[in-house]
Structure 1
Amino acid sequence: MSAVVEDNIRRLKRERQGPVCAYLYDLQALRSWVSGITASLPPACRLYYAVKANSEHRILETLRPLVSGFEAASIGEVRRIRAVSRDCPIVFGGPGKTDEEIEGAIQAGVRLLHVESLQELRRVDLAGRRAGRPVAVLLRVNLRGPLPAAKLTMCGAPTQFGIDEEELPAVLRAVRDGLDHVDLKGFHLHSLSNQLDADRHAELVALYLHKAAGWSAEVGRRLEVLNVGGGIGVNYQALDSQFDWPRFRARLARVLEAHAPPGLEILFECGRVITATCGYYAAEVLDLKRNHGTHFAVIRGGTHHFRLPASWQHSHPFRVLDVDPWPYPFERPELTRGHITVAGQLCTPKDVLARDAYVERVRIGDVLVFSHAGAYGWSISHHDFLSHPHPETLYVG
């Protein structure tokens, strides 16, 4: 946690009448981190930001000059991007697109539309015909595998994502035989999430290149763009052991040199790994209690603000920020050198952010600061369950 983040949490505690509950985003840390990633990628690669990870306007504004474009998964996300930039490149994907979304994406000038099925491809062709121009598309393919193990698997298994690899020849024939308002640029392969192994991820890109080259030859089109998806992860359980970007860059460069045809553009659409580290969720301890041998810290907030730990079923890292003033006339409860489970205010035992976490000391009135909360935190949470107040949002740096 940077000094500027800590200073702002302490300022909130001094200035607010009630308990502290806030998201804080360190924009300078975000700029530095993303600039380093983009500088490390080989020249043929482009980094797009997957807006689903965190779609806050200030986050998108900060990222706009740093990334090659944005990935949207709904027409609502397209509109959020266009509120930041009228002309930045957008790739638009996701299953179950409506006609309104397809037509809205064309009108918004998206660069590429990811197509998930033959039926959707035919609808895109009709929309292009109505718009009077061909639509640039990538076909999303659900590979048969084998694929590396991952926290979430989108392909290589029965899921709603992409075109089954075995059914792809029929889709390629449809493209070749007369969908005049579809301009096939290449393929989209986003197979897994939260990959932490740099070597295996480079091997996955090599597999994608091999597959896409064969499909392009089959359809008789030059492979212009290959979207290799996101999936590069964050290790929430061991913060000092993260995805090895320098190693990945070196392995990726060798893969591209060996397998990428001249002029091919490689797109990465990363989300979590871009914004996770810039965000913090700060929540004040309201109560300490012991039930059935387990110590609990109950915070002002919970999974309705920060759903990621419950969604991924992990214990999220945090640190205790000491707050010394104590406004009550009775003794201040505390726990020293023990383990606590951090729970929120919701009326469900699933409202847990961390389990059995060791603390040197925690007191009622201290603030727990959860790091790596900048992705899939607020954006995926059930904000209005029980109608508790929303947290504040602060941008620093």
Structure 2
Amino acid sequence: MKANSEAPVLKALAPIVHGFEAASLGEIEKVRAVDLEIAVIFGGPAKTDDEIAGAIGYRVSLLHVESLHELQRIEYIAGQLQTVVPILLRVNLRGPLSAAQLQMAGVPTQFGIDEVRVAEAIRLARRLPHVDLQGFHFHSMSNNLDAAGHVRFVDLCIRKSQEWASEFRLPLSYLNAGGGIGVNYQDVEQQFDWDAFTSGLDRMIREQEMLAGMMEPARMGAVSQDQGLPAGSLLFECGRYLTAACGYYAAEVVDIKQNHGKQFAVVRGGSHHFRLPAAWKQSHPFTVVPVEEWHYPFPRPELRDSAITVAGELCTPNDVLARDVFVPRVRIGDVILFRYAGAYGWSISHHDFLSHPHPEHIFLE
């Protein structure tokens, strides 16, 4: 959901996904405003007591545990509510992992339980009466474009889970491989090879006979009925992949200028609307949409066959959406149209910085 949590997007996705992954109580509430029954899994590294209790109240399907301390807090809160909470342990793998744009595991981060402490976490979870350990969560990377590498990552997750299941005689119902399937913002014609990924995944699972060997059928049936998720599941959180290509960001060029040998197109908008390019320090793909209207009594400034930097209206040099991109022509009054803006665009932006107006949001069905 953190990729795009707008209600029309959730309503469009609800009939075709198994559920939603939420990272806050606010996101859980957004899901329940759209669908009272669809499965929700809940994660995040700093859950408050109110969020844990709220997630239980909203009947989340799985709660991802980030630490041994959080595990004990969940047990305490579930005990007060006289219920049993289904959980996955989030594991921060040591590696090796595929290279991706962001790493949540394999390097020191605030996410998950260090792989070397997983055995300790399993022993603790098995002793606690108000949590039901049903598997493991491995959200380890973001925006991975290597399909074969992602198959190897999932293979590693499965093998690690099998080792722990065997060691502790732990029946597993769910293995969540998390997100990480990427979008190529630098070459939009060369996207993640979904066919290669799914065929490689199929071969790997068949070779391991993972689902047949590691799951306990009687237990799976009860989980599936109660929680709305297919039992014995390998889960993926594909928010970026699902929503990125569905969104565009359009901003009008309000000025053209040259400074220190560089050409700038300054737009009415910027990173307070669409923060992803600035956050990742990359040029976002765009096209120039010509607008023929011109209302001023003086000549219309333009650039031809030039490399331009697209900058926003904020009073910071960090408000840049694309750098040194060649365009055949751009004029003041034209519109810069950014593609692949449906994920981590508006949702991660600092909307009220400088108190500029919010953009208009248009949803096409």
Q: Would the TM-score normalized by the shorter structure come out above 0.5?
A: yes
1:280 aligns with 2:248: yes
Within the candidate set 73, 81, 92, 2:42 is matched to 92
Partner of 1:205: 154
Percent identical: 58
1:59 aligns with 2:27: no
Partner of 1:73: 23
Q: Distance in 1 between matches of 2:305 and 2:107?
A: 45
Q: Distance in 2 between matches of 1:175 and 1:245?
A: 36
1:228 aligns with 2:177: yes
Partner of 2:98: 148
In the TM superposition, residue 261 of structure 1 has moved relative to its aligned partner by 2.9
Q: Distance in 2 between matches of 1:107 and 1:349?
A: 45
Q: Distance in 2 between matches of 1:272 and 1:169?
A: 32
Partner SS for 1:392: coil
Within the candidate set 158, 165, 172, 2:122 is matched to 172
Within the candidate set 297, 300, 303, 1:335 is matched to 303
TM-score (norm 2): 0.93
Partner of 2:353: 385
Q: Any residues of structure 2 matched to 1:19-38 within 5 Å, and which?
A: none
Choose 346-355 or 257-266, whichever is displaced more: 257-266
1:105 aligns with 2:60: no
In the TM superposition, residue 335 of structure 1 has moved relative to its aligned partner by 0.5
In the TM superposition, residue 219 of structure 1 has moved relative to its aligned partner by 2.4
Q: Distance in 1 between matches of 2:125 and 2:293?
A: 69
The unaligned stretches of length 5 or more in structure 1 are 1-50
In the TM superposition, residue 175 of structure 1 has moved relative to its aligned partner by 2.1
Q: Distance in 2 between matches of 1:287 and 1:276?
A: 28
The answer to whether the Cα contact below 8 Å between 1:302 and 1:351 also exists between their aligned partners in 2 is yes
In the TM superposition, residue 310 of structure 1 has moved relative to its aligned partner by 0.3
In the TM superposition, residue 106 of structure 1 has moved relative to its aligned partner by 0.4
Partner of 1:295: 263
In the TM superposition, residue 218 of structure 1 has moved relative to its aligned partner by 2.4
1:124 aligns with 2:74: yes
In the TM superposition, residue 257 of structure 1 has moved relative to its aligned partner by 1.1
The answer to whether the Cα contact below 8 Å between 1:172 and 1:218 also exists between their aligned partners in 2 is no
Q: Distance in 2 between matches of 1:269 and 1:100?
A: 24
In the TM superposition, residue 156 of structure 1 has moved relative to its aligned partner by 0.8
Q: Distance in 2 between matches of 1:70 and 1:355?
A: 35
Amino acid at match of 1:166: V
Partner SS for 2:72: helix
Partner SS for 2:166: helix
Partner of 2:280: 312
Aligned CA RMSD, in angstroms, stands at 0.9
Q: Distance in 2 between matches of 1:372 and 1:63?
A: 17
Amino acid at match of 2:148: D
In the TM superposition, residue 313 of structure 1 has moved relative to its aligned partner by 0.5
Q: Distance in 2 between matches of 1:219 and 1:182?
A: 16
Amino acid at match of 2:110: Q
The answer to whether the Cα contact below 8 Å between 2:98 and 2:146 also exists between their aligned partners in 1 is no
Q: Distance in 2 between matches of 1:170 and 1:136?
A: 18
In the TM superposition, residue 124 of structure 1 has moved relative to its aligned partner by 1.0
Partner of 2:228: none
Partner SS for 1:172: helix
1:396 aligns with 2:345: no
Amino acid at match of 1:308: L
Partner SS for 2:21: strand
Within the candidate set 130, 134, 139, 1:190 is matched to 139
Q: Number of paired residues?
A: 346
The answer to whether the Cα contact below 8 Å between 2:282 and 2:322 also exists between their aligned partners in 1 is yes
TM-score (norm 1): 0.86
The unaligned stretches of length 5 or more in structure 2 are 216-231
Partner of 1:360: 328
Partner of 2:113: 163
The answer to whether the Cα contact below 8 Å between 1:54 and 1:374 also exists between their aligned partners in 2 is yes
